[in-house]
Structure 1
């Protein structure tokens, strides 16, 4: 009698190999999709943070001009927090308010941004601030973004210096989506002769603004930093 031939299992082995290959391809495709989704989410998060930083730049300009978010003067229309009297324009008659005298007013700008002063005096730095901070002022400022390690000035200040949240001096509303904190800014004041070595009466403001996104990590929250130079005249 003839014995039946033993099965070698070739078809089973081939099927298993195809199954492994298909599973690998599926996993790779899934990982690629997840990676692209993360990239898209990060791009959107940074775009959102940049938009908020731009809002903070405009808010700082209104702060300098003594205006509310709706274009009215805080001194007459009212704002929740007012800058000290004599440090901001009050009416359209103050079109030439910002000159050398205003820029060097000791109550208008501080070497440490008014770190130990009342809230309405904080966030504005004079031309000596960077020297006393031992670094650019924005590098030693507290942006309240849970940065790790925490930022702080060195030099004679040797502490974190303050920043201003969006809307504090302009009453501008900020409805934070998904718990995103309000953007923040700081202002540095420079009299024209300091920068231009001339007798100009112009005053320049360097505004640094930071907007935040949704994502947080070990180093802090996603953020975008923007700067602009502004002169009211």
Structure 2
């Protein structure tokens, strides 16, 4: 009888050990599942942010050309069309193909009115977001590093140098009337444009070509301590 009693106690202890092991395995499996779901969610968030950054790049190209998002109507107020946010005179092509070629030449007198060293800081939105070749020096860093992307970055970005403030960026659709149909909680992507004449890039001084470096940032829905999830893309664009 004494031997049987001891054997029953051993079974109880063994059962408890098995239960503890099974519980630990269950907790580890649950944690692994949650970790996998977080990784998937982060990947989807980054993928969405990259897609939105791509949209902003294309929107910036249309902005440079003065095109609406549908490619058929120019986004500026004329005798026949009305644009919600019109560019000032001589800062964008007015009527399309006939104006684009002569407009985007380094020798065109209107070109010097398009880009501003501080990107239109504290100016009307209609002249914001387009920078000169000297903007980086005035900012004391690459312009995009001192720009206000409105992503709640911590610490907040700001130019040093002679500008000494966060310079403006352009929200997707501002000058093209392009709609943005992102998921709830997603903010519009933004971009800046830097304009370079050929001689400023040490290309043939006789060239009239103009180049634009576009920096676009797309955002996800996740907001962390350092700011909102974002993806930054750059491209170089020349309309002629």
Task: Report if TM-score (shorter chain) is over 0.5.
Answer: yes
Q: Does the 8 Å CA contact 2:199/2:207 hold for their aligned counterparts?
A: yes
1:50 maps to 2:50: yes
Could you say what the CA RMSD is over the residues aligned between the two structures, in angstroms? 1.4
Matches within 5 A, 1:119-134: 119-134=125-140
Which runs of structure 1 show a deviation greater than 6 angstroms over 4 or more consecutive aligned residues? none
Give 5+ residue unaligned stretches, structure 2.
Answer: none
> Which residue pairs with 1:204 in the alignment?
211
Distance 1:106 1:193, change over 3 A: closer
Q: CA deviation at 1:197?
A: 3.0
Matches within 5 A, 1:1-233: 4-5=1-2, 7-8=5-6, 9-71=9-71, 72-75=73-76, 76=78, 77-91=81-95, 92-96=97-101, 97-102=103-108, 105-198=111-204, 199-233=206-240
Q: Structure 1, residues 8-54: CA drift from partner, whole Å, max 9, x if none?
A: 31000000111111111111111111111110100000000000000
Distance 1:103 1:181, change over 3 A: farther
Residue correspondences, number: 230
Q: Structure 1 residues 84-93 or 137-146, which shifts more? A: 84-93
Q: CA deviation at 1:79?
A: 1.9
> Secondary structure of 2:113's match?
coil
Q: Does the 8 Å CA contact 2:221/2:228 hold for their aligned counterparts?
A: yes
Please give the alpha-carbon distance, in whole angstroms, between the structure 2 residues aligned to 1:34 and 1:27. 11
Q: CA deviation at 1:200?
A: 1.2
Q: CA deviation at 1:87?
A: 1.0
Q: Structure 1, residues 61-107: CA drift from partner, whole Å, max 9, x if none?
A: 00000010011212343321111111111122113110114487342
Give 5+ residue unaligned stretches, structure 1.
Answer: none
Q: Does the 8 Å CA contact 2:53/2:216 hold for their aligned counterparts?
A: yes
Please give the alpha-carbon distance, in whole angstroms, between the structure 1 residues aligned to 2:211 and 2:143. 16
Give TM-score scaled by structure 1 length: 0.95
Q: Structure 1, residues 150-195: CA drift from partner, whole Å, max 9, x if none?
A: 0000001010000000000000011231121100000000001211
Give TM-score scaled by structure 2 length: 0.92
Please give the alpha-carbon distance, in whole angstroms, between the structure 2 residues aligned to 1:180 and 1:20. 44
Q: Does the 8 Å CA contact 2:196/2:211 hold for their aligned counterparts?
A: yes
Q: Does the 8 Å CA contact 1:192/1:203 hold for their aligned counterparts?
A: yes
Q: Structure 1 residues 190-199 or 55-64, which shifts more? A: 190-199
